Amino acid sequence: MSESVLDLQPSFDDLGTFLPEVTFVVVDLETTGGGPDSSITEIGAVKVRAGEVIGEFQTLVRPDQPIPAMIQVLTGISQQMVATAPSLDDVLPRFADFAAGATLVAHNARFDVGFLKRGYAEVGLTWPRPSVVDTVALARCALLRDEVRNCKLATLAAHFGATTVPNHRALSDARATVDVLHGLLERVGNLGVHTLEDLLEFTLQVSPDRRAKRTWAQDLPERPGVYYFVREDEGRPEEVLYVGKSNNLRRRVRSYFSAGEKRARIHEMVRVATAVRHVECATDLEAEVRELRMILSLGPRYNRRSKKQEQLKWLRLTDEAFPRLSVVAQVRSDAPHFGPFTSRRAAEEVSFALFDAFKLRRCNTRLSAHTASASCALGEMGRCVAPCLLGDGAKAYDGIVEAVRAAWTGDVDPVLDAVTARMRKLVEGQRYEEAGEISRRLEAYVRASVRLHRLKSLAACPQIVAGLPVAGGWDIHVIRYGKLAAAAHAPSRTARETAEAAAVAGETVLPPGTGLPACTVEEAERVAAWLELPGIRLIEIEGEWAWPLRAGLTPSQLATQLLGPSELPLAS
């Protein structure tokens, strides 16, 4: 055999590392949250090779900050448990030794690997740049769409019959991920994936046809705007397939043709699209709002979010002798409403919080103010004042209804105060599941209160003109009854003149008459989020942009109010 032929023949090294020869370290972290300032509270890892477990690593970690109350409830890791745990400085070197030379595996690897990278940097370790396998990405590539309803760890663990049930503790979740990994490796082995290199390539799924469409992005501006993929068929109207927004159109559209885009439906969308178009915007907020309006009006088939902006639910008291809570889809101008909610189930969850606080009737019977009727079981249990009997309960019912209306328009404290004693009694009796259910309802109630007052405060202002200093000048917006009426970007020296011109040229917006914004709730919330950014300057305001001081609480404030400053919620 000639030397040239030998040079062309692939060696075993060229084939890559066969999967039975790869050492995987499957890792899971518990943290104080998902933000860049959050800390690791627990590390769990399992080392496997050729399907066999060859080592495990588990330790709690003393975080740099308190563990939020709701994280304690979710994971069962309390402040007391980590008080004497080793610090990250002690833990990470030991983990680095355990994982040395191995391929890391994690479920939603970006989260865990991101924390590990930051941790290595904090303690002065060099990140070894290991190969990383994400079981979420692998499942999305390997499993058919109708096999599992989602790619959450619990769903996949059940699908593959994992011997460990994930429970938000690091080692248990890592053990469950091992079984999921083995199930996925068995599946992809039937698809010709036999080496680590095959496995990493398999998860990328970037076809030559998709890479060739990168040229669509080359002429787009590096500016904020809206982009939309279209399909053009001869003799048929152009179809908008997908709408998105970005503060850098060229970079964002280019990402659709790279390995970073892993959504199966987007792969399909790019495959059938024939072109991408764009609308350049003056500001990031204008791009967000234009995206919402285009999705609402066009209903692109590949968009999932924001397609049902108008399909919201509200709580309202019925018009009858003894009003009851009702979930409705439309807001009337002649009655107070509470919400909005994205689903009937979410509205009903908050209604249960109100039932816990006020002895409203829950029956659907239309009662008479003049003829008594039989009381139900809730009345006999004291959970309802039984206005149907036309006794003292009927006399007190108007006061209860007014208290509910006041809770919708003012502070959240009356609702919280009404159930505080019951919550503490449940916790003292170690009835954590019931306490957790009430806590979730109250969290939903507080979130709904904040949402409502945020919307109403914007709707009460005929005009707000505001600016935000950004690189190169100012972003300026004119907001009328919560709706974005104009947007502009101006150099610092002409900001005032630009704001005045935008106010003159802005869209005319009529007051909606419902006490809510003159646009969709989602648009108004995007506007509110922008107005609440640090550095915002109010240039002009008509009306009163304000809401009750205690219209909402942070999760830690809520936990303190319900359980007291010395109590810590426990995991159920």
In 3-state terms, what secondary structure has residue 481? coil
State which amino acid sits at residue 1. Answer: M
Q: What's the pTM?
A: 0.63
Task: Return the pLDDT at 70.
Answer: 86
> Which are the contacts of 40, defined by CB distance < 8 A and separation ≥ 6?
29, 30, 31, 61, 63, 88, 91, 115, 119
Average model confidence (pLDDT) across the chain? 88
User: What is the sign, positive or negative, of the torsion defined by CA atoms of 255, 303, 306, 236?
Assistant: positive
Task: Return the pLDDT at 5.
Answer: 33
Band of pLDDT at residue 277, cut at 50, 70 and 90? very high
**Rounded distance between C-alpha atoms, residue 388 and residue 362, angstroms:** 12
Structure tokens at 23: 């050492």
Closest CA to 154 of 133, 139, 132: 139
Structure tokens at 430: 């170690």
**Rounded distance between C-alpha atoms, residue 59 and residue 54, angstroms:** 18
Residue-wise pLDDT for 176-194, tens only, equals 999 999 999 998 888 778 8
Closest CA to 327 of 340, 355, 205: 340
Residue 525: what are its φ and ψ, rounded to 5°?
Answer: -70, -35
Give me the domains of the chain, ranges plus CATH numbers: 14-204 (3.30.420.10), 208-298 (3.40.1440.10), 313-454 (no CATH), 461-542 (no CATH)
pLDDT at 308 over 90: no
Residue-wise pLDDT for 116-150, tens only, equals 999 999 999 999 999 999 999 999 888 887 889 99
Task: Return the pLDDT at 513.
Answer: 85
